[in-house]
Amino acid sequence: MAKQTVDNPFAQPGHNHANCIVTAVDAAEAACARRGERLTPLRRRVLELVWRGHRPVGAYDLLALLQGERGRVAPPTVYRALDFLCEQGLVHRLDSLQAFIGCGHADEHMGDRGDGRHAAHFLICQDCGVAVEVRDGQLNGAISGLAGRAGFAIAGQTIELSGLCAACRI
């Protein structure tokens, strides 16, 4: 199977975001099929809404979007869909923003616990709000080494770095 990753909007001025959505949904469908999980129409739609942009989106913003499309939708419905997407490693929760962002690496591995979760590191622009998941083996190794030396077992890892992207620094 060909490796699917989402383009980095920081690095590409002519970024085609429609490709990100298609790639992310295709990867989600493939990952769920491999794991024997169901990507229901509602879960798929929540995933598409999360991927509308590279800016993290809050649960209540997603609720409002869904209510605009479907009428009355209860908050637990959105939270259950987000919980599923997070458990499958298709979406990450950014605690500092109390928001969610799509995972651009969902089909690459299953994570240490056998679920879809993996170490996630984000660069978040304080000005334009774009957030990008970055991968760095050296950083992963350094964190694992530090934890190992301390006798600490990492259960989850999300690192959020805030600053200004190149476009906003101009």
Evaluate whether residue 9 is within a structural domain.
no
C-alpha pair distances (Å), 70 with each of 15, 57, 67: 30, 19, 5
pLDDT of residue 112: 44
Evaluate whether residue 4 is within a structural domain.
no
pLDDT surpassing 70 at residue 168: yes
pLDDT surpassing 50 at residue 4: no
Evaluate whether residue 11 is within a structural domain.
no
Evaluate whether residue 3 is within a structural domain.
no
Evaluate whether residue 104 is within a structural domain.
yes
Which CATH number does the domain housing residue 82 bear? Answer: 1.10.10.10
pLDDT of residue 91: 94
pLDDT surpassing 80 at residue 133: yes
Instruction: Give me the mean pLDDT over the 39-62 stretch.
Output: 95
Evaluate whether residue 2 is within a structural domain.
no
Token digits for 52?
Answer: 């509308």
Burial of 84 (0-12, 13-18, 19+ CB in 10 A): buried
Average pLDDT, the chain: 85
Instruction: Work out how many domains the chain is built from and give that number.
Output: 1
For residue 71, what are the contacts with CB-CB under 8 A and spacing of at least 6?
none
| Residue percentage of the chain with pLDDT more than 90 | 61
Note down the domain range covering 49.
17-169
* This model's pTM is above 0.85: no
